[in-house]
Amino acid sequence: MRVAVLGVTTGLGGRLASCLLAGGDTPVGLALRDSDAVRMRAARIEPFVLDTDGSDLDGQLKRALRGADAVVLAAGTGTGPGSLGAAVTAPAAQLCAAVGDCGVRRFVMVSALLPGARDRAALGGRLGAYLAEKRAAEQVVREQDLDWCVLRPGMLTDDPPLGTVRVRPDGVPAAGDEISRGDCAEAVRTVLTQGITGVWHATTGPTPIEHAFRV
């Protein structure tokens, strides 16, 4: 499976790429800087550098998604250079349009609706706008005629992955909910490979990830 990932330079996106590679899939990283592309190649991620200042961003996205089986929007998850508080509504709309034009059906959005304390402090007065962006981006995705899935993780941590989670459909993260970036990445890969659709909340829990979405 060939999977295009926007946000592959985040802590979550990088772990997702590793999960995809381990499963024999090909991650394509949508990058904004040439320096990102160099690091991606070293990690065996196929890079595609977008010129966001150019006049043909839609055309660039279509070229980047050519031959892709799925797209993951993992931008704005709160880690990585330039990702914290990044507006995601426009990328969601642009990616959805490009996906539809390219004939790609699978679209997964990671919606971090519950930033951790460090990210909340960094956002400061922008926290409300950040959360509003996430909600708006979710709505954009949910309105598409695609095989879409929105995954709402609890607060992302750098704890070692457990390989187990607790998921529930249409759930909303609450205070105290956590999940490691490694387990969240594996949950995204599972959603992709199992064709899971709809809105899901994922947090640390007892169920092996490969069985967690079979509810």
Least confident range from 81-85, 159-163, 188-192: namely 81-85
Helices (H), 53-124: 57-65, 89-102, 117-123
Q: What is the pLDDT at residue 85?
A: 37
CATH number of the domain encompassing residue 101: 3.40.50.720
For the chain, what's the residue count?
Answer: 215
- How far apart are the C-alpha atoms of 188 and 210, rounded to whole Å? 11
Considering Cα of 70, then 215, then 133, then 129, what sign does the dihedral take? negative
Q: What is the pLDDT at residue 115?
A: 55
Average of per-residue pLDDT across 3-13: 93
Average of per-residue pLDDT across 124-141: 78
- DSSP one-letter code for 137: H
Helix (H, G, I), strand (E, B) or coil at 133: helix
> Tokens 């959603």, residue?
191
Q: What is the pLDDT at residue 78?
A: 44
Query: pLDDT at residue 82 above 90?
Result: no
Q: What is the pLDDT at residue 119?
A: 60
For 92-131, how does the pLDDT look when each residue is reduced to its tens digit (9 = 90+)?
888 888 888 898 999 999 986 555 556 666 666 766 777 7
How much is the pTM? 0.87
For 170-214, how does the pLDDT look when each residue is reduced to its tens digit (9 = 90+)?
877 777 789 999 999 999 999 999 999 999 999 999 999 999 998
- As a whole number of Å, the end-to-end CA separation of the chain is 25
Q: What is the pLDDT at residue 56?
A: 83
Q: Find out whether 189 and 27 touch, Cβ atoms under 8 Å.
A: no
Which pair of tokens denotes residue 27?
A: 């991650």
> Tokens 């409300």, residue?
128
Q: What is the pLDDT at residue 31?
A: 86
Closest to 156 (Cα-Cα) out of 114, 210, 104: 114
Which pair of tokens denotes residue 115?
A: 């930033």
Residue 143 lies in domain: 2-212
Could you give the number of structural domains in the chain? 1
- How far apart are the C-alpha atoms of 70 and 1, rounded to whole Å? 8
Query: pLDDT at residue 2 above 80?
Result: yes
For 22-79, how does the pLDDT look when each residue is reduced to its tens digit (9 = 90+)?
999 999 999 888 899 999 999 999 999 988 776 788 899 999 999 999 999 998 654 3
